[in-house]
Amino acid sequence: MVSRFSFGLATNHTPSSADGPIQLSPDSRPADPLADFSIQYTSGTTSRPKAVLWTHANALWGGRVNAAHETLTPGDVHLTSLPLFHTNAQAYSLHASLWAGCACIVQPRFSASRFWPVSLKHRATWTSMVPFCVRALMEREVPAHHYRLWGNAICDMPTDAHFRVKTLGWWGMTETITHGTIGNAHLPDLPMSMGRPAPEYTLKVTTEDGRPAEPGETGDLAIKGVRGLSLFAAYAGNAAATAEAFDEDGFFLTGDRVTVARDGYLVFADRAKDMLKVGGENVAASEIERVIATVAGVQESAVVAKRHPMLDEVPVAFVLPAPGAPGDLPHRIAAACAEQLAPFKRPHAVRIVEALPRSTLEKIAKAELRKLANAED
């Protein structure tokens, strides 16, 4: 099933009589941009999902700014196959298409086998991707197509040459409505970065001692906007969590850690909750995962913290093997980590699994893995 939307003015209707014609009339409620619009739930990859309250102004902001960032025009055709309860599909795709006045092709789910036939049938020019979708499409032949841009979390991906399309990288959260960082739709970006700070926001990256991160340093990312407009209104029913989410200067504390790169670009490093404290030393789960990814036979991995009586926390690696992976894969992973990582960064256990728990958009649910790791003897 594929739906093609054309958009117009929505109206309320009331029957004129029990069996008479339906009369259409515009909504007579006074305009209130700060009225509640919807609740979006965070993905819950590292902690319990939060109910993020959006206003009508948030929805309009998302449509306007996303359309501008993505350079959408009325002539575009936006293919949408990600879940509409998620910010990406709802704000980045549907609301942006509404604002630009372009066609939006909505699919019930992503399908690798149907992606290219549907794209060609409707002459799609734009779509949002996630790594799972890209990996699935790598196994299929790429036809001559009409795409001018794909959106993803990383700029100028190595797979762009294979798909013959530029990837516009970005970073955003349910709480930011739109992209807090964005690449350039017309010029080359720093490959594998998340773009530069979007002009509609103020961003800061600070180190553990509170000073601004210098180029080459990694720090905590915070973003400042207008509550109820460019930032979410509140966490519904959770005033304490809302208050804790902002610092004394009004910056929203994203929980993401980024590295400051050249020319104002930012590179995603890790979720703060993916930082382990091993014997007083900070260890990034992503650093260990990058080493594991180099081992032949590894399809995907996730490193989480396990409680330890002496060291506070230790790394545990959950590994999804590739088809035909060698039987001694854990030993090969241990050897690679021993060669490339300091002793306190090496996984204390390597668990081979048949599947990794997922949240929305196929993200690995590390909160579930932490439960598994700490349930072990």
Has residue 328 got a pLDDT over 90? yes
Rounded Cα distance between 180 and 201, Å, is 7
Residue of 200, 141, 195 whose CA lies nearest to 166: 195
Residue of 73, 41, 69, 89 whose CA lies nearest to 194: 69
Q: Checking DSSP bridges between strand 234-235 and strand 51-55, what pairing results, if any? A: antiparallel
Whether 153 and 160 have beta carbons less than 8 Å apart is answered as no
What pLDDT, on the 0 to 100 scale, is given for residue 46?
54
Q: Which two tokens stand for residue 336?
A: 């690679």
Q: Which two tokens stand for residue 295?
A: 């081992």
How large is the average pLDDT for residues 217-234?
96
Residue whose structure tokens are 């020319």: 263
Q: Tell me which CATH homologous superfamily contains domain 3-271.
A: ANL, N-terminal domain (3.40.50.12780)
Mean of all residue pLDDT scores within the chain: 89
pLDDT band at 94 (very low <50, low <70, confident <90, very high): very high
pLDDT above 90: percentage of residues in the chain: 71
How large is the average pLDDT for residues 253-278?
90
Rounded Cα distance between 29 and 27, Å, is 6
Q: Report the CATH fold assignment for 279-375.
A: GMP Synthetase; Chain A, domain 3 (3.30.300)
Where do you find CATH 3.30.300.30 in the chain? Answer: 279-375
Largest CA distance in the chain: 80
Has residue 238 got a pLDDT over 90? yes
Where do you find CATH 3.40.50.12780 in the chain? Answer: 3-271
- DSSP-derived 3-state class of residue 298: strand
Single pTM value for the model:
0.77
